[in-house]
Structure 1
Amino acid sequence: MLDFNGTNANSTRNNTTCFDILDDGECKNEDDVRTYLATYIIPEWYEWIVITVYILTFIIGITGNILVCFAVWRNHQMRTVTNMFIVNLSVADLGIILICLPPTLLVDVTETWFMGLVICKLVYFLMTVSISVSVLTLAAIAVERWYAICRPLAFKSTRRRARIIIFVIWLVSASVALPDIIFLRLKRFERVPENVSDLLMSCQPGLGQEQQTAYQIALIVLLYLLPMICICVAYIQISHVLWKGDIPGDGDSRSVTQPMMDTRRMNVANEQLASRRKAAKMLITVVLAFAVCYFPVHLLNISRYAGVLKYIAVDGIRAYSYVAHWLPYLNSSSNPIIYNFMSAKFRKEFKMACICCCGPPEKGKQGFTFTSATHYISPNNVGTEQTSLTTMK
């Protein structure tokens, strides 16, 4: 492992420039340095494991999030306000995986940035935008669900309003990410001689340590701690209402003691309550996954700029960095898996998408599918239960 914390020790012997990039007293000329650096960035055996894990994460994440968007697009009954936010979350996850995962893997393995300043600014800008959109979308879902369940008469959730909120989320996220465009610079590692090699460059903010530490703290507070606190408070109240079974606005409509309520209406009300509980469990799981996966990378960033990492062994930092950098991508690829296991509607649409991709039905088994919908309406929500009927010849 190279140590880039020392000073550049260059000397001249017999009119030949020498570079002591390893701080071992050994003189290396320009050709030796180029050869050494080109060899250094070649992946080690354990880094091939990291590459394999990233590739699998990339494939699963792209496939899963495209399926989420396809499911909502295909099934008009799934175009609810909550699902609009879920699609927005999937779009942000696609951005994280498509735009941010490849450069992150490249930098982790080669320990250098050789894609230039423009790509440096663009990638980190889009990374901050996508992460901001993710956390703000989760917060928007929590607030929307809180109003729909805890204050149904105080706020009417509509798709038009959801579109406006989504637009504002992207606008705010772009504003938060502007410092990446303004302050990011390319920095050469100290022991690498200038004009000898473009390898072992880093893409870093051109700020002082105190300024960068303050900026990282602000990002953690605004894009992690505060949203997580608001989300937790919202879901605690939502859970209390749903599992208590007394939703505001419904009055005593679910009371089994009312003789006026017939059995059918009671069954519909109970099914709706059970459906809301399942949806709440799924959304809470998504939030918990986000909180767990993003905590290590926030801790790593604040430790780096606070100067804590210099007291930790290099191998330990490297291992922790691999895991911390990979977890956000795991989060982006795991959300569709959560939807599949915890939502019957998403699971059904995912299966239909897979059937469509596998080609037409086998010969002699041609048929067609009807889709019927049973609507249920309450003072605070309109929902649809969908049933698929397949007629075979």
Structure 2
Amino acid sequence: MNYTANVTYNLTSSNCSNEMCIPDEDYLNVIETHVFPKPWEWTLVGLYSITFVIGLTGNSLVCFAVWRNKTMRTVTNIFIVNLAVADLTVIIFCLTPTLIVDISETWFLGFIMCKLVLFLNTVSISVSVLTLSAISVERWYAICYPLVFKSTKKRAKLIISAIWLFSVAVAVPDLVVAKLHPYFSPEFTILLTSCKPGWSNRNQTIYQLVLLIVLYVVPMVLMGFTYSHIAVVLWKGNIPGAVETARKPMMNSKMNKADEQLESRKKAAKMLITIVIIFAVSYFPVHLLNIFRYTGVLLKLPTNFVLVMALISHWLPYFNSSINPVIYNFMSAKFRKEFRMAISCGMLQQKRRIRGRGQPTMSIYSNSTTTQHFVGRNYSQTEQITLSNFHDKSETDAW
């Protein structure tokens, strides 16, 4: 970002012989004009606002869907909820400050929030990529080596705890070294104050390289390997243990269930691979931008190009956090069903509130059948038996 704003006037009006000098009050007006959003920047505000609403609503629905429906509390979905929590963290705490800084080039939130936002941003990125890595390894074992390693919910929760602890440890430098860097004396104006690490560019470059390797390169290589192997196994239909089972006499219904399970796993793999690809595309520009910034490459590039690159790379991680629930909705029948039921439940409750205000004497038991259908619905015993026969509880593909 061009924080100097091409403003080169002398800040002092006294003893000023240079014809470029202007009074302090006029210069402050110049800065305020620069900080105030330009017409095209209101488009950026709208884009971030849409991203915020979609991300907040979608990730909340993911958590609600898994919490509400016990049949969806599988190992993979537990990891997906953790991913949704990380996305909610970055959307709630980091999206708005990023937008304000991109538009005003000023940090208005103070010293403590400066440290907290940088810290949570790194934590959420780390949790997201490590959770995706954990999902890929869990699916790899469940599909390619089901007899070697069996996933359990308890183990998944332990892995999630380890992911958060590791992410906090990785982000500690941001918490320690982040500080405010005013371009002018605070007594003159707080405008054009930045929030960034306070150590040397050399140390920050090393730190960014470590983050690039640990939180991007290694996970991408790992997920590329696991999902490639999963794709080969699924699309060949060569799932370990399936051949022996197929040789035994089986009823047509059981054969159909086996085929349905294979198709379900293929859909799950497609969805997860899509999420990983979007994550890789979304986070590569911001990692590259950080490396360019602290190695001095940005200074050699055209200002307008750097501005566009910065705005796009800053928005893409939030787009990634908001798009995941949309992917679940389009590619997962189970999540799509739960999302619709949650929305229908909310609309039904809103209608009942309106009717209740208009008709205070209406029986509280009205629409009880409809309410039972939407609110707190559990699968019937027959459906639960079918699901239990269809999937193994430790590795259910509840999509």
TM-score, scaled to structure 2: 0.87
CA distance in 1, matches of 2:17, 2:52: 40
* Deviation larger for 339-348 or 148-157: 148-157
In structure 2, the partner of 1:333 is 322
1:342–1:272 CA distance, 2 compared to 1 (3 A) = same
User: CA 1:333/1:378 → structure 2, altered by over 3 Å: closer, same or farther?
Assistant: closer
Give the C-alpha shift of residue 176 in structure 1: 0.2
Give distance in 1, aligned partners of 2:116 and 2:139.
Answer: 34
Match of 1:4 in 2: 4
Is 1:273 the counterpart of 2:281 in the alignment?
A: no
**In structure 2, which of residues 145, 150, 160 is the aligned counterpart of residue 156 of structure 1?**
150
Partner of 2:309: 320
- Is residue 172 of structure 2 the alignment partner of residue 178 of structure 1? yes
1:45 is paired with a residue whose SS is coil
Q: Determine the C-alpha separation between the residues in 2 that align with 1:80 and 1:186.
A: 44
* Residues 211-263 of structure 1, C-alpha deviations (whole Å, 9 max, x = no match): 21111111111001100110110101111111111112334323xxx362221
Greater RCO structure (CA 8 Å; 6+ sep): 2
**Post-superposition CA distance 1:15-35 (Å, at most 9, x none):** x26699xxxx51133322322
Q: CA, structure 1 residues 2+312, in 2 after alignment: closer, same or farther (shift >3 Å)?
A: closer
User: In angstroms, what is the RMSD of aligned CA positions?
Assistant: 2.6
Q: Which residue of 2 aligns with 1:389?
A: none
CA separation of 1:3/1:60 partners in 2, compared to 1, >3 Å: closer, same or farther?
A: closer
Matches within 5 A, 1:343-354: 343-354=332-343
Is 2:38 the partner of 1:44? yes
Structure 2 counterpart of 1:233, one-letter code: F
> Percent of aligned pairs with the same residue?
50
1:221 is matched with: 213
Matches within 5 A, 1:37-76: 37-76=31-70
Question: How far is 1:342 from its partner?
Answer: 0.3
CA distance in 2, matches of 1:152, 1:10: 71
Structure 2 segments unaligned to the other structure (5+ residues):
353-365
CA distance in 1, matches of 2:270, 2:166: 28
Give the match's secondary structure for 2:244: coil
CA–CA distance in structure 1, aligned partners of residues 145 and 46 of structure 2: 47
Question: Contact conserved, 1:120 with 1:203, CA < 8 A, in 2?
Answer: yes
- Change over 3 Å in CA distance of 1:280–1:207 after alignment to 2: same
Q: Is the 8 A contact 2:179 2:196 kept in 1?
A: yes
Cα distance in 1, alignment partners of residues 310 and 2 from structure 2: 16
Looking at structure 2, the residues matched to 19 and 100 of structure 1 have their Cα atoms a distance apart, in angstroms, of 45
Aligned length: 375
Q: 1:293 to 1:321 in 2, by over 3 A?
A: same
Deviations 1:177-202 (A, max 9, x none): 0000111121123xx35631111011
Contact 1:11 1:17 in 2 (8 A): no
For the 8 Å contact 2:9–2:22, the answer to whether it is kept is no
Q: Shift of the alpha carbon at 1:3?
A: 6.3
Which residue of 12, 26, 31 maps to 2:25? 31
Distance in structure 2 (CA, Å) of the matches to 1:17 and 1:90:
59
* Structure 2 partner of 1:253: 245
**Aligned counterparts, 1:90-129, within 5 A:** 90-129=84-123
Deviations 1:287-329 (A, max 9, x none): 0110011111111111111111111111121112111111111
Moved more, 208-217 or 129-138: 208-217
Extract unaligned runs of 5+ from structure 1: 387-393
Report which stretch shifted further, 100-109 or 29-38: 29-38
One-letter identity of the residue aligned with 1:57: T
Residue 121 of structure 1 aligns to which amino acid in structure 2? K
CA distance in 1, matches of 2:16, 2:188: 12
Could you tell me how far apart the structure 1 residues matched to 2:85 and 2:12 are? 55
Task: State the shift of 1:55 in Å.
Answer: 0.4
Q: Is the 8 A contact 1:19 1:193 kept in 2?
A: no
Distance in 2 (CA, whole Å) between partners of 1:134 and 1:11 is 45
Preserved CA contact (<8 Å) 1:58 1:97: yes
1:371 is matched with 379
Which secondary structure does the structure 1 equivalent of 2:189 belong to? Answer: coil
Question: Aligned partner of 1:213: which letter?
Answer: T
Deviation, structure 1 residue 366:
4.5
**Matching of residue 310 in structure 1 with residue 299 in structure 2:** yes
211, 216, 231: which one pairs with 2:223?
A: 231
Structure 1 residues 330 and 6 mapped into 2: Cα distance closer, same or farther (>3 Å)? closer
**Distance in 1, Cα, partners of 2:379 & 2:391:** 23
Partner Cα distance (1:119, 1:18) in 2 = 38
Cα 1:277–1:209, aligned 2, differ >3 Å: closer, same or farther?
same
Q: Which has the higher strand share?
A: 1
Match for 1:169 among 163, 167, 171? Answer: 163
Q: Does residue 200 in structure 1 map to residue 213 in structure 2?
A: no
Change over 3 Å in CA distance of 1:253–1:327 after alignment to 2 = same
One-letter amino acid of the counterpart of residue 282, structure 2: C
**1:333 offset after TM fit, Å?**
0.4
SS at match of 1:252: helix
CA distances 1:70-115 after superposition (whole Å, capped 9, x unpaired): 1101110000000000000000000010000000000000001122
Aligned residues of 1:153 and 1:380 also touching (Cα < 8 A): no
Partner of 2:362: none
CA–CA separation in structure 2 for the residues paired with 1:95 and 1:193: 33
Conserved 8 A contact 2:289-2:310: yes
Which of 289, 298, 309 is the matching residue for 2:278? 289
- Taking the aligned partners of 2:286 and 2:148, their CA distance within structure 1 comes to 38
Moved more, 124-133 or 201-210: 201-210
Q: Distance in 2 between matches of 1:11 and 1:108?
A: 24
